[in-house]
Amino acid sequence: MRDSVGTVRTVLLLGGRSEIGLAIVERLVREGAREVVLAARGGVAEPPAALAALGAKVHSLEFDATAPDTHTATVDGAVALVGDLDVVVDAFGVLGTQADYEADPAAAARAAAVNYTGHVSAGLAVAARLREQGHGALVVLSSVAGVRVRRFNFVYGSAKAGLDGFAQGLADSLHGSGARVLVVRPGYVPTRMSAHVDPAPFPATPAQVAEAVSAGLRSGATTVWAPRVLAPVFAGMRLMPRPIWRRLGR
């Protein structure tokens, strides 16, 4: 639970091996968080040594994005380990290639289930807990890929568009409860998950995304972009005529 000066004390990371998610957790630990739960399929047997070195107690928990019936139990398990959840970081996902998805529709559907419907059940389970607590923040990793879906990655982008809309609606549903949602829209972030993707303009490192999240949590923002310049860039892209839009590459 947050201390008397509002410092985050407990953090749950859904997608416990996510490089961006772990960068956010490390940032919060550097700022005072002391209890961390890393939730991932099979648990996280070897959590980053940096977290313990910074003084955090790190727990591991089973979490399967494709098993929505278990998501409430995962949240309950985290509460049993650390008590009230100050910040929950929703960072799980998969990133395949558009060509592979078009060649294997079943694989595309499985990826969409992880990148969208898994977040619906997990997000509602977290929201129920935060509403009961009367405080806490859910950080949802959306993407600029969902702001306006492009043809080169429309399976991934359409799932992110759904997630972004879901997160905004969830935020409105929590208004007045003491709990809130922070939507994060990074652009291209070089990580192991995106290693097969060509770099795009205005990249951000995981640490820069974490910095944006930290600032957003402190300011009470509802949405942050990483880097910030992507907000005006995509405001313009939303207005771009479709014949031009469909010819764009990355």
Q: In the annotation, is 156 catalytic?
A: yes
Integer Cα distance of 87 and 12 in angstroms? 6
Residues in the chain: 250
Closest of 122, 69, 87 to residue 1, by C-alpha: 87
Question: Could you say which of 101, 116, 156, 188 is catalytic?
Answer: 156
Say how far apart CA 222 and CA 214 lie, in whole Å: 12
**Exposed/middle/buried for 61, CB within 10 Å: 0-12, 13-18, 19+?**
buried
d(C-alpha 151, C-alpha 98), whole Å: 9
Place of tokens 């003491």: 178
Sign of the alpha-carbon torsion through 171, 128, 216, 68:
negative
Q: Phi and psi dihedrals of 88, rounded to 5?
A: -115, 125
User: Mind telling me the catalytic residues?
Assistant: 156
